[in-house]
Structure 1
Amino acid sequence: MTSINSSDTIKKEIFIECHPETLFSFFTDPDKLVRWMGRHVLLDPSIGGKFRIDINGSDIAMGEYKEMIPNEKIVMSFGWEKSKVLPPGSSTLEFSLLPKDNGTLLVLTHYDLPASEVAPHEKGWMHYMPRLQSIAQGQDPGVDPLSAQAN
């Protein structure tokens, strides 16, 4: 019997011209998070607290906060409501906020993704990380085009 590893990891880095404490709030304040991701956001940013991000009326990300070091790191379980391939809590997101050159290097690591989910999640993070960068630097990224794709 052979074992096939069906999970994979995405790792992305982006430099954001803001202090880590400013960036941290965009993961813990629902009014700030919804400005870069989703239509409606419910957060309980505490260890064991749940989150729900309604991206577009049909794609709803869910999970819970697993670890929080203020202004340094956030670890969350992650998945999609109604998904059999990646249900809520089945993967792990880690956001590390590293002070660098009067700004923050954001390192996103998305662990435990089924192989079939790596490409779509890579595309998603390539979309959302620049939106987060823009809003955290005081710019307006505009309405999220992905939030208008379904009803």
Structure 2
Amino acid sequence: MTQTQSDKVIKEIFIECRPETLFPFFTDPEKMIRWMGSHILLDPTIGGKFRIDLNGHDIATGEYVEIVPNEKIVMTWGWEKSKLVPPGSSTIEFLLAPKENGTLLVLTHFDLPVEELASHNKGWTHFMSRLQLLAEGQDPSSVKAI
């Protein structure tokens, strides 16, 4: 299910793995790089910075705002060299809820300019599909590049 509202993108996806298995994909650079980016620097502590180089020219930066192990990650988000979504100008919340034999992952990306909603929706659809495959033990390379 995907919703796009005036200033946020909301994505929900069910992943067949426990929250304890999924959580490190947001805090361990070796796991994160497998579903997002080509070079990643993470300091997964409150106030810790991150830098995700997606492809050599699109670089996301921000900091961890809230971390509840196996339940929730909140990060500021922005793009180096962007006037519309500069570093720290938006916020991403990942909620991990146990459900049946897996995890319901709900991503909410807040404070986006209206003109950026479509591209961020497309990007998160792509990356969440890759994350789902990877966390379920499959090869995410089958997801087409954005």
TM-score range, shorter chain: over 0.9
Aligned positions, number:
141
Compute the displacement of 1:144 (Å). 7.0
State the match for 1:80 in structure 2: 79
State the match for 1:42 in structure 2: 41
State the match for 1:4 in structure 2: none
State the match for 2:23 in structure 1: 24
State the match for 1:54 in structure 2: 53
State the match for 1:97 in structure 2: 96
Compute the displacement of 1:24 (Å). 0.4
TM-score scaled by length of structure 2: 0.93
Identity %: 70
The answer to whether the 8 Å contact 1:37/1:144 transfers is no
SS of corresponding position for 1:75: strand
TM-score scaled by length of structure 1: 0.90
**How big is each residue's C-alpha offset from its partner over 1:36-73, in whole Å with a ceiling of 9 and x where there is no partner?**
01100000000000000000000000000000000000
State the match for 2:3 in structure 1: none
SS of corresponding position for 1:113: coil
Compute the displacement of 1:113 (Å). 0.1
SS of corresponding position for 2:141: coil
Counting only pairs closer than 5 Å after superposition, residues 110-125 of structure 1 correspond to structure 2 as 110-125=109-124
Alignment-mate amino acid for residue 123 of structure 1: K
State the match for 2:9 in structure 1: 10
The answer to whether the 8 Å contact 1:60/1:81 transfers is yes
Larger radius of gyration: 1
Compute the displacement of 1:143 (Å). 7.7
Structure 2: tracts of 5 or more residues without a match = 1-5
State the match for 2:63 in structure 1: 64
Compute the displacement of 1:101 (Å). 0.5
Alignment-mate amino acid for residue 74 of structure 2: V
SS of corresponding position for 2:111: strand
Paired with 1:28 and 1:143, the residues of 2 have a C-alpha distance of: 24
Looking at both structures, which has the greater relative contact order when contacts are Cα pairs under 8 Å and sequence separation is at least 6? 1
The answer to whether the 8 Å contact 2:91/2:110 transfers is yes
Paired with 1:111 and 1:134, the residues of 2 have a C-alpha distance of: 25
Alignment-mate amino acid for residue 114 of structure 1: P
